Amino acid sequence: MTRVINIFVFGASTTYGCWDPEGGWVARLRRFLDEKSVEQLKQNPEPNPMYLVYNQGIPADDLSGILKRFDSEVSERIDPGEENIILIHTGTNDSLYNNQTKSLKFSPDQYKQELIEVAGLTRRYSAKIVLVGTMPVDQRVDPIPWLPNHSYKNEYVAKFNEIMEEVSQEEKIHFIEIYNHFSGGEYQHLLVDGVHPNSRGHQQVFEIVRDYLLDKKII
């Protein structure tokens, strides 16, 4: 009997794969797992396990939005006896800075509390929970050309990334570090517009995520 493993990846535009003709890092993860299944099919008519990857990225979404839609997105796509892996890729939109009010969209405390809530929700469906960190941004989005009076700033993106790592340790769930892989080098050429990765950026994020999932035997 085929062992079905569902992989849900929640997030915003970077999860969705905006501005990448190849569909982003989640599409690459699906292709990688599909290719593994094809290889298995050459030996067996039923790939085992069979991975189903669901990209639940919605551009402009944030953790609060993910909390509201989480149950409905997952429950309609699973059957009893199937395994589930859940990845949460968030933080950049949550750390959005309003230059008029001099305030963040969500406070660090609120973001942490919502991450804890997400961890609780995901445990209803899976023990394999992964928080995926964010990439740094650059000066092109300070201020944001398409969102007047707002900015993405690395000081806040990095802070929210640290909160993700803190929650992962406290809640004993996985955390994939992305930010520090890029912040020490010339990462700007991996961004289309200062915040969204280009194809090369998505490829690097995919490789980091893939290697972590394989190393921890999550996939």
pLDDT tens for residues 12-21? 999 999 999 9
Q: What is the pLDDT of residue 43?
A: 85
| Greatest pairwise CA separation for the chain in angstroms | 61
| Count of CB atoms situated within 10 Å of the CB of 170 | 12
Q: Is residue 179 within 8 Å of 89, Cβ to Cβ?
A: no
Assessment of whether the complete model's pTM goes beyond 0.85: yes
Model pLDDT for residues 201-211, shown as the tens digit of each residue: 999 999 999 99
Query: Could you tell me the residue ranges of all domains in the chain?
Result: 4-215
Q: Is residue 4 within 8 Å of 83, Cβ to Cβ?
A: yes
Model pLDDT for residues 90-109, shown as the tens digit of each residue: 999 999 999 999 999 999 99
Rounded to 5 degrees, φ, ψ at 4 are -95, 125
Fold classification of 4-215 is Rossmann fold (3.40.50)
Distance, CA of 64 to CA of 110 (rounded, Å): 10
Helix (H) or strand (E) holding 219: none
Model pLDDT for residues 68-95, shown as the tens digit of each residue: 999 999 999 999 999 999 999 999 999 9
For 170, the token pair is 């406290």
Q: Looking at this protein, which amino acid is placed at residue 122?
A: T
